[in-house]
Structure formats: C-alpha cells, structure tokens
Chain A
C-alpha cells in the first residue's frame, strides 16, 4: 500500500501557529511559561518535551526587500531515521514502516536520539525521564483522520495524503514558484535520509530555513558499543541492559505491521 506523507508548503504558511496550538490540544501538552525571544515572534523558543512542533521565523532584508520565512518544525519521520539507529532499546522504532514513534515503556532516557536527530525534533522530558516527540498523530491517522496540525491549518500550507501524489503537487508548486522568480525554490524530503514522511516545499534554499542541505544518518546501532563498555564493568551489572538491547533485535525480526486504511486526503 502506498505510503502517506505530510506536505508543508512554506510558501503558503502565514505563521498563525494554529498548528502549534492544535498539536498541544490534541496531545494534551501543557503550555510553558515563556518570555519574548529577542528579535522574533517565535515562541516557545524550540521544540521541547511539551512542544512537539513550532513555527520557525527567519527574517531577511536586503536591497531586494524584506522576506519573512516561516517553517513548521517537527519530527520529519525519516526513512533512515538516526534516532531509530542509535536507540539502544528499540523504544524508538518505525511502525508500519512509516511512523517513527517512541515507546514510553521502553525508553531509558539515554538521549542518544536527542543527540542524533539532525532536526532537533526529539527532546528529553525531565518529569518522565523519557524522550518525547511528534507522533504524526498516528492515533488519528490510524482511524482515518489527518494529523491535528493539518486539520487546523487555515491557509492550505499543510496537507496529508498519498506520498506520491503530494510529491507531484510539490513539484508543480515549485515550478510555479520558480516561474514567479524564486529560482532557489525546491522540494525537501523526497530523497533526503531515504525519503522523509514530512516533505517541505521551500521558497528558497534549505539553509535559509535552517535545514541542513544534505543531512546524514547517524551511524548504526550503538548498542554494541554500550555493551562492550558495560561488560567491562561486570557481567551482572550488564544484565538488565542485555534484556533491553535484546528487545531491539527481536523487534527488527518481527513481522511487518500492516497499516490500516488511512484518510487525510
């Protein structure tokens, strides 16, 4: 069955941040006590355990005029997901071969994934001792709904549906933007990291939006290096970790989950 994806058209984003609020509402994430961030409307300042998506504001001004670029940041659900690669316990795993999710029961709070994520999309929650991130509203998508942020978006900047179809839309949109003179417009996420489940239409180069032009996947599983270090401290002390790490290999060997019918068109 064809994979679904989310498309974020930054050229249509008006930075109203309805997506940020919808995300918090659906996922029951508390608001923080914030201060103005010097020089920007952006708030909360970054993705955090209780803030799974933010709109990033970048202001540029030169002889050609002023530009105010907005990009919705969130977990991009990479195909080659660094967080999954580095997770020693298998708590961070891909489900239905598409959704990168963290299993709160198995997360040991080692924060390797926080370090490994090239998009800063995974953050540690001090209160639970585990990491948190965007689920792409898997709970909604599996019941045929679109993600909460997509549902709330008023300007048409967010859409959810068949990945191939959205890529076609994205290519057409980029052609339009280029025809209007934005030569550096492009699609981000088609092939990056094996293909992202969240694809951007950028109205400028990735770097203008704070995105790495060529993100690299973190090196493979670190569980073996963990284990060798732990073994040096004694076999008994390592045993609980052995059970944790074994789970990851078992998960990998499990039969593929089959994605039920999804909606969101």
Chain B
C-alpha cells in the first residue's frame, strides 16, 4: 500500500477493483465501513457480484481480463472532461515531460509500441526515452558536466509531451469501445467514471484497493500501472485517503516480498546482479546506480547487505564478498521454476509455508514436476497436498521415486518474530503458546539446516565453499529472533552499535544492514519499534506513529510531499499530512515527510549535484530519476510505457482495439495447451472465499471452517445454467485445455452474461482452495488454469481462461 489500512477511513470515494476486500480482508474492511459511515462512496468493479458488491453504493460488472480497457476508459474520461488536478499533474507527475520524437504507440502501430522485436517477443525501449535539455559545459570552477534533466512543456501542449501522448493513446478507449470490450453497460461505466472523477477536486481523496484480481493476468503489472496513472491524474497519491493500495493475501506477504521473495530482487528491492552484465562489484555499482534519486545511495545499501551476510569475510579487497553472492542467470520465478523441475533440471526442493500442489497454475505440470525431484522437504502445520502428492488420487506411489520429508511447523502464535502487513507496518509478535509435539518454528529449522551444512563442509579448502563457510550466522542456539531483527536493521560496525536508520549506511564496509528499507526499526539495543504498541493518534487521521514501524523511516503515507500544493500548503486543511513551515524552514506535520526535510517548496534543481540534492522542491517522487510520478514509464517495464489492453491468453473474442490479441511481451510456455472458443466458449476465473485460507490446509483441517464451505462448487449464472440444463446442487464438470474438475453447481444471479462485441459471453467462477488432503476435500481449480504469466513478473494468469461446463 502507498497508504495504509486505517487511512482508508479518510477517503471520499473508495474504488475496490480487482479485489474482494470484504471476503478476503474482512477485518481490515472495517475501515472501509468506517469511511462509508462518514459519507464516503464505495464502488466495486468485479466480474461477479460478491459480498463486497453487496455493501457497495455502485457495482459495475466487467469481463475477466478487460481491466485495462475499463481503467483506460476512466483515464480517457478524466482527461477529456478535464477532471484531473492540473496543478498536481504539472508539478508532481511526468505529464509535462517530452518524449523522444520517434516514439510511436499502439494507436500508430496497430497494437504495438515502437521498438518491438517479434522474434524474441521483446521491446527495445530506446525510443520510449525522454528528450533531455541541451548539453551544457561545466560551470566555472567545476570539472563535471551538469546533469541533463528531461525537457518539459508545463503548458502540456507539446504534441510529444507525456500528457498529449497519453491523451491520444486513451482517446481510443471511448465509452462505447470500453463497453464493447468489458461488457460493462455503458451507463454503469459512466456512473463509475463520474463518481470516481469527483476525487480529482483538489481537496478530495479517492482510494483504490486492489489485489490478485489485477495482478493475476498476463497484463497484471500494466493493470496496476493503469490504476496508478488514474490516481496521479486525480491527485490521489500522497494524500490522506488516497493511494494505490495492494491488499496482501496473508499477514506477511508484504514482509516476504520486502525480504526478497521475488526471485529477481535482493532484500529492499535491490536488483539481483546478473553474471553477464555485472561480473564485478564495480560493474554492478556503475550500471545500477542512478545519478539522481535516492537510489543514488544504492552502493551503500548493497555493500551493507554484503557485510550483513558475510561479516568480516567481506572486505574492500574482495569486493565485499561480491563473488560469494549467487548471480542471476535466468528467470527463477514460479512458472520457469516448475517448468525446469518438470524438465528434470532440479533435484531437490524445500517448501516452507506453501502448498504448490494446490496453489500453482496448471496442476498437471506442478504435480508431475514434484515427481521428478530426488527429494522434497515440506514444512507445514498439517499434512498437505504437496507432502502427499505421491499418493494423490490416480497415482501409483510405487512409480514415484521422490523421497519426501515432512516437517511439522509451529503456527504463527507458537513463535515470536515480526510480520509486515499490507500497510508496510513491521509488527512484532510474541509467542503465545508452545508448539505441539515436535513442531518447530521456521527459523529453528533453517538455523539447524545451515549449521548441519556448515558442519558437512567444515574441512573444505575449496574456494567455492567459502560462501557457505564464511556466512555471518550468529543468532545463538535459540535461535534468537532479536539477533535476526538487529541484523536486518543493521549496525555501525565502526562503533559496534545498531544503525539509527538507512541514512547512516555507507558503501565503505563500515556498516552492515540486512534490509535497508527496514533500517531504523531497531535503532538501539533497547528499542524494537516494531514492538511499539502506543495507540495515540494526535492528528485523529489514523497515523498512530507509535504503533509498529512502517518502512521506510516510519512513514505512513508514501509520496506525502504531494499532500500539499506545490507551495507547501495542504490541499485539504482537514486531512493534512505534512506541510512546509516557512519559519522553521522545514517540512513538519502528522507523518514523516517523504522528502528532504529542509528542501524548500521553491528550491531549484541543481544540475551539479547528485542524488536527492539534484532534485527541486516539487520533485516529490524521490525514488525516481526525474523526481516525478510516472504516468508514462520510459524504463523498468517490458511491455510498454503506457498500459494497453490485450486479451488474456485464452479469450472468447479478438482485441477490439488492435490486431494484437495477446500481450506481445508475454512468454507462452505451452502453446499446445491453449484452448479455443470452439471447445471452450466460456470465460472461467478462480478466487478465494472468506471461509477458507489460500491453498486450504489452514481451513480445510478446521471443522468449524470446513462446515461453512464444505465442498468445491462452481458458480454459474442462471442464463447459462438454463441453457445447459443445470440446477443448483447438480454435479458439473468444468473442462479446459489442461484438465477437468468436478464440483457442485451453484446457480446464481450474481453471475450475469456479458455482451461483448455483440456476442453473449458467459463467465463462471471456481474457488481454488480445494485439494485431496484434509477433513474436507475437492478437486483443485488450478488443474484448469494455464501456465502463462505476466510479461514483467511472470505472475500466472489465474483469473481469466477459457472453459466449458457440463452436467457430470
């Protein structure tokens, strides 16, 4: 979340889009209800009418996989009707920035951006770049040339400025076209536009809440970017009650992502070095450190990370053990991992806190892949489908050679440690009870595992074993959670003290830090701010600065420089976050400023400086090289600088906007397993229910939860059901190009057919919690889903595929 859960109560309009917040975040949803109590309006856009829709003021249905058409249409509405916050847009976003004269978009090139290479399905982004100010000689007395900032037209009139490019791009997303693609009735779509556009008024705030309904698509990253663009245009980023707010599906998804769950990231979103591109530390630092933005400090964060991991063995002479760090040589995300396993390229797998034999897309691949391992270790609270894949229905255990080890794990209340919630709050937790039997915490298991490996290698003199033997591993015998937390926070090694925050980190090896964005949560031996439980809220706006610790720097609302007008006075006096105090000559307020505290609102850019010192008083996005919110992304996105609608891999219709049906930068792993409308005319989607947890081990083993949702069901609209002669309670079979599942039909008016390009398109839905182990069992919906992922993240497309449904 750019904002945080409690802050949702400050919103004037809440748009829940691609999330079923009431069902999947029922406790946090209380803040939405609080906002509604105070008069806020709640909009819900979703393919099906859910328990969130039931409490919304306005519900709009859309076909799964057509989100960008819908959001693009909203962007078009906001631009055409001048509902954007112009002062905000000009000052804080890159709308005024002028892009290369060679840039061409999908409107010019029939669905493609300039720079596409069909052979490797990839873009060369060189023509998406900004035009820069003319080169200047070094000023007198200086030796370095001044920085060249991007050219701007603050009147937003230049035909190549981002605003005009965006306006042209989204002019293709007119309400009629949107309705033809999404199936949303035009008048309902316009009601959503009108209501949400009201938050473009400077003193109003709109909050967008999204979840897997946006990300689990082959255009998932661009879905979220589209939401971000909308929020930037309306001036909803950085303000109280605003934000692009990702609702995480578990209490520590944010924490695991922060700690490098993503296979291409090191902790704190430091990109993983690649062997070919960065053979030495110097190459990494030179190529990956931008001159401008706070990322100019990346060398300090990176070297401190190496010091945390390899301690005294990381020296200036050996590039701080850079060679010890495994380098990226490919894509290690979910789909490639299981494809590699399926191809027999992976020997062993350790699974902690996951149940891939239910949760992974295309289960026939996942379950077969597990059978190609030599060994598999699974740690969980209960027997799971993954531990027992070798005795799943229809399989002869004698033919599976994988040796499986099951480790009993301690539950969250049976151990201490921290979690980081959706709001980026690091929250310390205390053990409440002892784990039962032999169950142990994950940290205990990993500690014993590492120590056993180190023992096995202890006599080695081979250089390749040094990364194992020299690892800085000193958490005691407990092991001590506090010791881990302190390592994450970091140390000033020269003083032997804990680091006060990431600003103190250095690239010279005198500091260590396990995750720079967390630095400061444990600033001295007696203060673990994550354990803070001071409930005071002086502003009344829900910041609660003494409750846990929000990374970075206990900042509750990111980009909060934008909560004021360019001159430093709040857009909304009643919901003010920070403001410029001219007497004290600094930013003060209810939150920690996301800005240089003493940089005046009218400060000019300094082309002779580096890092944040180069940026000016309205360059509010301090992690960006131009200090601006990127409505147009010249870098960092592989499938285009502006979100463009493409159909899912499996779609009932062609792309109404261009000849390019499918995201041209997404990799198709299994072209033989792509279903077509002749056999599979119905759109399918998968989702979660309040009553079950993720892959189901935690809820299908609890009788009180099991009785609430006891079996797999398939939700089918009344129209489709009557066409197929299906009644509620009938057993039905759902088939896709990958497989089939059987479940009980639930015929409902909450699913309605869509009219897409004049054709009636039906959609059905299936919860994905079920599997073959537990006190209640059922077929896994992911037998149906395709092994294809988002072009940027490789997140599987769980949310939209083609299927058919028949009575069993």
A positions within 8 Å CB-CB of B:
11-12, 14-18, 20-21, 24-25, 30-36, 38-41, 43-44, 59-61, 65-70, 154-156, 180
Contact = CB atoms under 8 A, between A and B. Distances in A.
A37 B22 CA distance: 22
A25 to B, nearest CB: 7
A68 B29 contact: no
Given A16-B690, A18-B26, A66-B49, A34 B707 contact: yes
Contacts of B55: 11-12, 14, 155
A67 B704 contact: no
- Which range holds the interface residue count of chain B? 35 or more
A233 B703 CA distance: 47
A156 B711 contact: no
13 contacts: A14-B23, A16-B22, A16-B26, A17-B690, A17-B708, A31-B707, A36-B744, A59-B749, A60-B749, A68-B750, A154-B28, A156-B33, A180-B57
Nearest to B689: A41
A47 to B, nearest CB: 14
Given A15-B51, A32-B707, 5 more contacts: A31-B707, A34-B708, A41-B746, A67-B54, A70-B54
A84 B514 CA distance: 66
Contact of B33 (A12, A18, A21, A60): A12
Contacts of A36: 710-711, 713, 729, 744, 746
B749 A15 contact: no
Contact of A15 (B34, B54, B710): B54
A39 B22 CA distance: 21
Interface in B16-52: 22-23, 26-30, 33-34, 37, 49, 51-52
Nearest to B61: A66
A15 B709 CA distance: 13
B471 interface: no
B407 to A, nearest CB: 28
A25 B702 CA distance: 12
Nearest to A24: B704
A16 B51 contact: yes
B22 A155 contact: yes
A154 B710 contact: no
A13 to B, nearest CB: 8
B690 A156 contact: no
A169 B30 CA distance: 18
Contact of A38 (B52, B727, B750): B727
B552 to A, nearest CB: 29
Interface string B608-648: 00000000000000000000000000000000000000000
A34 B709 CA distance: 8
A14 B709 contact: no
Nearest to B41: A180
Contact of B26 (A33, A69, A155): A155
B708 A156 contact: no
Contacts of B26: 14, 16, 18, 154-155
Contact of A61 (B23, B28, B749): B749
Contact of A43 (B54, B703, B710, B727): B710
Contacts of A67: 54
A40 B748 CA distance: 8
Contacts of B747: 39
Given A31-B704, A34-B710, A68-B51, A39 B33 contact: no
Nearest to B705: A21
A38 B54 contact: no
Contacts of B510: none
B53 interface: yes
Nearest to B749: A61
Interface of B: 22-23, 26-30, 33-34, 37, 49, 51-55, 57, 59, 689-691, 703-711, 713, 727-729, 744, 746-750, 752
A252 to B, nearest CB: 38
Contacts of B704: 21, 24-25, 31
A228 to B, nearest CB: 44
Nearest to A69: B54
A11 B37 CA distance: 11
Contact of B746 (A17, A32, A39, A70): A39
Contacts of B744: 36
A13 B94 CA distance: 42
Contacts of B707: 31-34, 43-44
Which residue, B57, B707, B729, B747, has most C-beta atoms of chain A within 10 A? B707
A33 B705 CA distance: 11
Contacts of A41: 689, 709, 746
B23 A16 contact: yes
Which residue, B22, B51, B705, B744, has most C-beta atoms of chain A within 10 A? B51
A257 to B, nearest CB: 33
Given A18-B26, A25-B704, A43 B709 contact: yes
Contact of A154 (B29, B691, B749): B29
Given A39-B747, A156-B33, A65 B711 contact: no
A136 B163 CA distance: 60
Contacts of A156: 30, 33-34, 37
A26 to B, nearest CB: 11
A154 B711 CA distance: 25
Given A36-B710, A36-B711, A66 B23 contact: no
A60 B749 CA distance: 8
Contact of B728 (A39, A43, A155, A180): A39
Contacts of B51: 14-16, 68, 70
A43 B713 contact: no
Contacts of A40: 746
B702 to A, nearest CB: 8
A67 B748 CA distance: 12
Given A30-B703, A59-B749, A155-B22, A14 B708 contact: no
A66 B708 contact: no
Nearest to B21: A14
A11 to B, nearest CB: 7
A167 B782 CA distance: 49
Contacts of A39: 728-729, 746-748
The 10 A-B residue pairs with the shortest CB-CB distance, nearest first, are A38-B729, A61-B749, A31-B703, A39-B728, A38-B728, A16-B26, A14-B22, A68-B54, A154-B27, A31-B707
B49 A68 contact: yes
Contacts of A60: 749
Contact of B706 (A31, A69, A70, A155): A31
Contact of A20 (B708, B710, B713): B708
B29 A155 contact: yes
A17 B706 CA distance: 12
Which residue, A36, A67, A156, has most C-beta atoms of chain B within 10 A? A36
A148 to B, nearest CB: 13
Contacts of A69: 54
A44 B22 CA distance: 21
A34 B733 CA distance: 21
Contacts of B57: 180
Nearest to B750: A66
B21 to A, nearest CB: 9
A93 B706 CA distance: 34
A239 B415 CA distance: 61
B712 to A, nearest CB: 9
Contacts of B752: 66
A18 B25 CA distance: 12
A52 to B, nearest CB: 13
A68 B708 CA distance: 18
A156 B727 CA distance: 35
A156 B33 CA distance: 8
A39 B713 CA distance: 10
A155 B55 CA distance: 11
Contacts of A35: 710-711
A18 to B, nearest CB: 7
A154 B706 CA distance: 20
Contacts of A16: 22-23, 26, 51, 690
Nearest to A12: B33
Contacts of A43: 707-710
